[in-house]
């Protein structure tokens, strides 16, 4: 379980998180939605300790991270997999080396075992025959699948996805959505997904949280969110130009 308790974060005079209370449930696919610039990536970076709150607490599995030193964060981060918006593969490493990286860094497994795990993960994402290629030789969708295989390589307790399907065609989006749903079922890990893709959100989320004005303004199952009468949520999920949101052109 990942808990935010009354978390505030500002950059200069710009207040991004304003007393954020949020409980991301264990063994579930938690989606965080909200407008561009609402602070979704900032929220993810707090979970990994890359950004520290100005006040408030963040607890991971009941452990308050307030007093964590860099070494404690490094230990905690080993329990996480991460898929960044731009895939963020190591350009100079092959597909196989990219997926092996967290296994080499974060575990004491023997190279034979690592090779076997990497082969299994690459098979899962349909890229077993591309393992000796460099990221530059792959399409955007393939790079995302490599990043996905790398994110789940160690069977982490938590996997964070920052816009995993942005820029991909609808069919590749569905492939990634299915991979997320299948992997979560298999690992029973806690997934946290930031996404603007409402179709995927309603298809695979167990729980949806909407961030607005530095706070969570709505939360619920896909059915609950789809049926809400809250005008703010309705405008966002339906993409209307008129409603409580201020629209800037």
Q: Which residues bind ligand ATP (CB under 6 A)?
A: 11, 16, 34, 36-42
Question: Least distance in Å: CB of 217 to ligand ATP?
Answer: 14
Question: Least distance in Å: CB of 31 to ligand ATP?
Answer: 13
Q: In terms of CB distance, is 99 or 211 closer to ligand ATP?
A: 211
Instruction: Please list, in sequence order, all residues whose beta carbon lies within 8 angstroms of the beta carbon of residue 68, skipping any fewer than 6 positions away.
Output: 49, 76
Q: In terms of CB distance, is 122 or 225 closer to ligand ATP?
A: 225
Q: In terms of CB distance, is 55 or 132 closer to ligand ATP?
A: 55
In whole angstroms, what is the distance from residue 153 CA to residue 105 CA?
A: 11
Token pair for 42: 């900032």
Q: In terms of CB distance, is 42 or 89 closer to ligand ATP?
A: 42
Question: Least distance in Å: CB of 11 to ligand ATP?
Answer: 3
Question: Least distance in Å: CB of 97 to ligand ATP?
Answer: 29
98: left (phi over 0), alpha (psi -120 to 50) or beta: alpha
Quote the crossing angle between the two packed helices 140-151 and 170-187, to the nearest 10°: 10
Closest Cα partner for 136 from 103, 175, 98? 98
């Amino acid at each position: 379980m990942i808990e935010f308790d009354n978390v505030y974060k500002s950059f200069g005079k710009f207040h991004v998180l304003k007393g954020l209370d949020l409980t991301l449930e264990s063994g579930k696919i938690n989606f965080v939605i909200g407008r561009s610039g609402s602070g979704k990536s900032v929220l993810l970076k707090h979970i990994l300790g890359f950004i520290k709150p100005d006040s408030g607490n963040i607890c991971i599995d009941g452990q308050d991270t307030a007093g964590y030193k860099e070494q404690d964060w490094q230990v905690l981060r080993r329990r996480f997999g991460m898929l960044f918006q731009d895939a963020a593969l190591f350009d100079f490493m092959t597909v196989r080396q990219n997926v092996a990286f967290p296994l080499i860094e974060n575990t004491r497994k023997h190279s034979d075992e690592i090779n076997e795990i990497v082969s299994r993960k690459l098979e899962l994402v349909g890229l077993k025959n591309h393992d000796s290629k460099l990221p530059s030789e792959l399409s955007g969708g393939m790079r995302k699948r490599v990043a996905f295989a790398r994110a789940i390589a160690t069977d982490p307790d938590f996997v964070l996805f920052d816009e995993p399907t942005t820029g991909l065609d609808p069919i590749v989006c569905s492939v990634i959505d299915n991979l997320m749903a299948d992997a979560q079922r298999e690992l029973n890990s806690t997934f946290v997904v930031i996404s603007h893709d409402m179709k995927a959100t309603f298809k695979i989320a167990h729980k949806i949280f909407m961030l607005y004005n530095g706070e969570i303004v709505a939360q619920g199952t896909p059915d609950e969110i789809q049926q809400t009468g809250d005008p703010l949520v309705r405008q966002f999920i339906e993409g209307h130009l008129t409603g409580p949101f201020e629209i800037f052109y």
